[in-house]
Amino acid sequence: MFQKNFGVYNDMIITEMRIINRSDQPWTKCYMALWTDDDLGVASDDAVGCDTNLNLGFTYNFTNNDGEYGLAPPAVGFLLLQGQTIPSAGDTVKYYSPLLSNNLLIRPGYKDLGMTAFNMYTNGNPSVGDPSNYREAYFNLQGIRRTGLPWINPVTNQITKFAFPGDPFTQTGWNEADAGNRRFIMSSGPSTINPGDTQTIIFAQVISRSASNLASVNSLKYLSKQLKRLYDYNFNISVAADPPEVEHYSSGNGKIYLTLNDEAERKKYFNAYSDTYFEFQGYNVYQIKSYTNNPVQSDTVLIKTFDIIDGIKDIRDSIYLNEYEGFIFGVVQRGSDNGISRNIELDKDTISNRNFINGTEYKFAVSAYYYDPSGGPFTLPKVLHSPKKIIKVIPQNISAGTQVNYLMSDTILTDQRDLGVMPIIIDPVKLLNATYTSVFGMFENKLSWTLTRNYNGSSAVLFQNVHDFTGTQDTAKSADGLLLIHQAIRDSGVVRDPDDNYRISNNIPTYSLQKGWTYEPQENIWFRGPDTAAIMSAKLITQRQFDSRSLGISFPTQGRFNNFRSRITANGKQFTEGTGTNTLMAGGPLRKVQFVFGETSKAYRYAPASNVLLTDTNLIVTPYRDMTDVPFAVYSVDELDSSGGAPRRLNIAFVDADADGIWNPDESKLGKYQFTYIFDIYYSETPESKV
């Protein structure tokens, strides 16, 4: 027999025991057993039990007060980590031999027997006392009383090989009803050991003390589960997170820019100890003292923490400190639900509190951190930090001859005015003279986008089938000095213009440096639509029946001009006409239109009666009056139009709020209420009754 102890691990002694048949005859019906000899505390107050799922046998104090341990006495047990192995078709057993080595043995056609019996002894009891001969001992190894009679579980009334398999902590199942001088034996078998063969069992002796005698049993089982998981992973549960990829840019303007990609946010790391995952939570940005090559904590200054918005802020955990010789509970990672930013602008040296100096080296690091709420004492920590990968930055002016056409945070104009894709400059020097195409489509039943780059005649797919459309930096992708933000715009209207007063006054981002409309020539900006913020807040139009969007572009709604939201939508497949009194269009999609000033058109004029102008301030009743001239024409110029993109002249209408017979908006916020409408019907100077 060979036996080896692997030392103490969190109040657990782990032992490997081997039986080697060195004879020339096979050994049959072999059992290997663990037998307790020493009592726990006062001998007359012991109780025993087993957990067949864990392969655990244990002894605990029957009462909550022991003559040696006092109140809340501990529980002790044997945990069988590896039992005997026997041939078994269709099964496979895996284990490391020797323990803690990298030699993984895989044996198809075998299975681990685990604990096959649990027996209790109590002094000279005729039925369950110590065995007095080899027959009685062999009975006990098989899970039979020394008299040859089986154990009967009084809860199930079934024969069993496991005495007292209940749960003392919850008082469920079959548990001891009284106490005494208890010992137990747990066995694994039988097996046949042929000449030269070896059978190995590995077990741990575990002890745990908790708030009471029965809570100690519960704690013992918890620690045994953790140890079993450790054993399954060969005591290698270390987890290492990859550092985020960081790029830097500094053009000598007194600022340093750090840019992250989103790879760290797409990862999670398995926590083998608890069978859970560490999931991405945020970034920590540090500045490091420049003269240090191997910085310690005192050389590192936390500049900023970015934390995803999910309600998880400061993370507290128990950590072991040598100086206290124990665990303390406190904040191990601070957070603030401030969201993720991957474009970090630094305008001073945090360590010296001075401006950055060109030609001087500065060091930074960004660490991603991951969170697993299942962490705590005797487990892995709740927070997993990636290593701090040092970034060296030397601010300096852009080299002579380098042409920079954009600045940091500029938005590159696209040929689509709905801003479904917004490229933001994060490194002007890395920009390429290339063409980028982002295609929206369906993949795995989800809306996705794929980005292709055409550079020097060569085409390459940069990102494929990305599902993120939140329109924020949290989900943006970066490439070639660009941060690419995608949005799925599904409601009616266009994205608000960058100078939209409502968005500006309410600090709402427009995600754009590009207007949803243009003038040709640009200096002829005499035509102004009504201000959308004024429409929403004006006391004169409290019902907001026009539901305007950017530039005051609006759509007639249900029941003519009543105060309902527009039913024209950006993602509709086609226009449909209403029925009955609800005769206006619904559906979509929206079309690109072109205003051409200098071409006179006939427009439908809707106006209140002159005698109700002072009372109908909400312009609820504006019936059709006639067709009158307006100094512009409107064309559909959309490739999805029925014309296939060829200009198609459209009918026009306007609300003549002052009933003077003229389309004459001014530059006031509401443009004299001369609200203009475009109909998706071919232009005709002959009025139609349904319009």
Greatest CA separation for the chain: 122
Cβ atoms within 10 A of the Cβ of 573, count?
A: 9
Cβ atoms within 10 A of the Cβ of 492, count?
A: 20
Q: Give 349's DSSP letter.
A: B
How much is the pLDDT for 503?
A: 64
Q: Show Cβ contacts of residue 146 under 8 Å, excluding neighbours closer than 6 positions.
A: 127, 128, 129, 130, 131, 132, 136, 137, 139, 140
Spell out where 444-573 has E strands: 446-455, 458-466, 477-479, 482-486
What is the chain's length? 691
How much is the pLDDT for 40?
A: 64
Q: How far apart are CA 677 and CA 686, in angstroms?
A: 17
Task: Give the start-to-end residue ranges of the domains of the chain.
Answer: 2-232, 246-393, 421-486, 532-682
Contact of 229 with 41, CB cutoff 8 Å: no
Q: How far is CA 476 from CA 125, 265, 467, in A?
A: 75, 11, 11
- Cα 494–chain centre separation: 31
Q: How far apart are CA 49 and CA 45, in angstroms?
A: 14
Spell out where 220-356 has E strands: 246-249, 256-260, 268-271, 276-288, 300-307, 315-321, 326-333, 343-346
Q: Which residue has the tokens 């080595």?
A: 101
How much is the pLDDT for 96?
A: 86
Spatial CA neighbour of 13 closest among 113, 84, 81: 81
Q: Show Cβ contacts of residue 545 under 8 Å, excluding neighbours closer than 6 positions.
A: 557, 561, 562, 563, 564, 618, 619, 620
The encoded tokens of residue 360 equal 């001087």
Residues of the chain where predicted confidence (pLDDT) is lower than 70: 1-12, 38-43, 320-327, 376-378, 399-404, 416-419, 474-475, 489-503, 508-590, 610-620, 669-670, 689-691
- Which string of DSSP letters, residue by residue, matches 2-54? EEEEEEESSSEEEEEEEEE--SSS-EEEEEEEEE--S-SSSGGGEEEEEETTT
Sign of the CA dihedral running 136, 140, 146, 147: negative
Sign of the CA dihedral running 64, 66, 72, 75: negative
Name the pairing type of β-strands 648-655 and 593-606.
parallel
- Cα 411–chain centre separation: 28
The encoded tokens of residue 193 equal 């050991």
Q: How far is CA 391 from CA 86, 91, 362, 479, 626, in A?
A: 56, 51, 8, 19, 71
- Cα 584–chain centre separation: 44
Q: For residue 138, give the 3-state DSSP assignment.
A: helix
Q: Which pairs count as long-range contacts for 661-664, CB under 8 Å and 24+ apart, including other chains?
A: 661/605, 661/607, 661/628, 662/628, 663/603, 663/605, 663/628, 663/629, 663/630, 663/631
